Amino acid sequence: NMGAGTISPHLAHGVHKVNVEVVRGDDVLPADTVFNVMKFDVEGFEPDAAEGLKGAIERSPHAAIVLEVWAPAWREIGDLADLLARFTLGSKLAFEIGHDGFLQRLRLDDPQAMDALRDRSDPFYMLLVPEDHWAIDFISSKLRRAIK
């Protein structure tokens, strides 16, 4: 992804401004929409996008979710653990997607691991999947370490 944009005045670099209408996904999607995969990459507003798609996320408990996590931008919205809960809504395994395509297991229930994520200044991609996801064997083959 080579492009970038923002709706936040303090994050903007002043290159080009365009007015856009912002709508909640749940307000425009049919009420029975269910996803297999969801991707969130909206320049620091992923938690807001998840809130706007809360109904779709709740109806899609078996979906794999890929999201960009950018702790410095998310701090302005709330606590990282609370914001990640908007995406998980249940038991999901979490992985960091490395630049090389390999996965590193993230322990969102470990306070020290969460502190390390809160302290990160670089954006990174996270994969969230249910423990019984159909692609868990493929995911396991992409791990730097085996799932325990």
In this prediction, residues 7-22 reach a mean pLDDT of 67
Using CA atoms, how far apart are residues 71 and 90, in angstroms rounded to an integer?
22
In this prediction, residues 15-37 reach a mean pLDDT of 88
pTM of the model: 0.81
Give me the amino acid identity at 80.
Answer: L
Using CA atoms, how far apart are residues 68 and 49, in angstroms rounded to an integer?
12
b/e per residue, 36-59, with b = 16+ CB within 10 A?
A: eebebebbbbbbbbbbbbeebbeb
Confidence of residue 89 (pLDDT cuts 50, 70, 90): low
**Residue 37 Rama label (left phi>0; alpha psi -120 to 50; beta):** beta
